[in-house]
Amino acid sequence: MAALATGLGVAQLVLWVGKIILKITQEADKVRRKKQDCAYLVRYLSVIHKMLPTLPEDPELELPLNHLYSTLQEADKLVVACIGRLSFLRCRSDAFRDVNAKITSDLSLFPLAFYTAVARRRAEESILPDRQDSGALTEGSSSSGSTSTHAHASLVSDYHPRARPSRLTWAEVEEATENLAYLLGEGFSGKVYQGRLHRGGRVREVAVKVLNEHGHQGMEDAFVAELETLYPLHHSHIARLVAWCSEWERPIFVYDHMGNGTLRDHLSGLLGSSSPSPVASSWKTRLEALLGVSRALLHLHREAERPVIHRNVTSSNILLDASWKSHLSDFGVAVLRAAGDQGQPVEEVVGTFGYIDPEYSRTRRVSSASDVYSLGVVMLEVLTGRPPVSPGLVTLVSSTLPVIQNGDLRNVLDGRPALGTTPRQLEALQNVADTAVLCLWPRGGDRPPMSKVVDNLEQALVIIRSDET
């Protein structure tokens, strides 16, 4: 696509971007076929159009504006192709999805305030991508999204379509939580309350998270990041966002309630003192929890329509449901992954001490490999039962990795599961430890992709299960 001439200045570029948006809007009116895809694109563009005047006169904006303009030219061609039905292939829903994703990716290069303002408006006006919508509205659309090319067999059963999250009124939240009566827990970003949603004659146990005013990124940004990334995600190992509420003084998220708390609580022995916790006593349960979350991450990195980097994979963000199935949660600092996954610049290095990829921390560039590193730390926790950071700020990586690399896994293994670990179990745990070592390589490029991590954990679990039977 032809970019605009350089040195035009922000005001002129904003004018051009505004003009092409209006042109697309007028053309989209003429489209009969693909009406819904066009309508979605136009609503998205109208939000951007409204926000354009808020952009500052900053020369650094010239490049992102130029990128956006090029993408809008693509969008324009797509709409024109649909008017004349010039090409059936061109106006498939996949093509609309791609162009929408490209626009979002372009916007991520704009100042955070602008990006989040657009995203928030989209959320308020319910202009958020939804796989089911686009599928249902499309004649001749391919069932596999254009980016959903990874065909890992184990993922097939994990993917499940679902109703999209709904917006709640504050009155509904009050009713569901009996006015925020039962506190489940508290994290950095907010308090979580227990609740019950009554919908269509059915009752659903939920966890209601009320964001703090002072999160790491700020309440607004955390709200937008979580809503933007979690809204279109469907995976059986990702904590399900059931609803949200933006009506109250603070944003609220409603998730499915996870009856068995966090993996960290069980590893640290905080839970399960009254009845024995299978996480404390069984290697199989621990490995299943790891495998579930690694599948969730594989989905985020490779399967999702708009790939995501979580940036805060920790054992406290792995929730266990009533049947001990693990779910990845807390998408408050997640970012959409840039094409190529070569390490995208971020304004701020966020995450949890003890889990943060040192390369990302040093370069301020994040990639999927940063999540791989954090999962490596969780693997060490699962193997040793120790916390990610000990008193004196000694990290688990620095205290146990050399021991494992030295071939002395037994010296650091948690003694709680099955007194006297069997040789088969030890073989499986060595596989996990070897995988952790790979995940924790200092250079992101040397770490395995999440698909390899899933394969290794699956093999380890097969060995553990065979030993049990």
Ligand X SMILES: Nc1ncnc2c1ncn2[C@@H]1O[C@H](COP(=O)(O)OP(=O)(O)OP(=O)(O)O)[C@@H](O)[C@H]1O
CB of 264 or CB of 306, closer to ligand X: 264
Find the shortest distance in angstroms from Cβ 416 to ligand X.
21
> Min. distance of Cβ 99 from ligand X in angstroms?
33
Cβ closest to ligand X, residue 165 vs residue 261:
261
Between strands 183-186 and 190-199, the pairing is antiparallel
Task: Quickly tell me which residue has 């997640």 as its tokens.
Answer: 334
Which residue, 134 or 329, is less far from ligand X as judged by CB?
329
Tell me how crowded residue 70 is: count the other CB atoms within 10 A of its CB: 16
Residue 180 or 184: the one with the smaller Cβ distance to ligand X is 184
Q: Minimal distance in Å, beta carbon 298 to ligand X? A: 21
Spatial distance between the Cα atoms of 317 and 60, rounded to a whole number of angstroms: 36
What are the binding residues?
Answer: 209
Tell me whether residue 40 or residue 193 sits nearer to ligand X (CB atom). Answer: 193
Tally of CB atoms within 10 A around 447: 25
Which lies closer to ligand X via its Cβ, residue 141 or residue 314?
A: 314
Q: Among all residues, whose Cβ is closest to ligand X?
A: 187
Residue 321 or 458 with smaller CB distance to ligand X: 321
Tell me, what amino acid is at 379? M
Which residues lie near ligand X (CB under 6 A)?
184-190, 192, 207, 209, 239, 255, 257-258, 261-262, 312, 316-317, 319, 329-330, 332
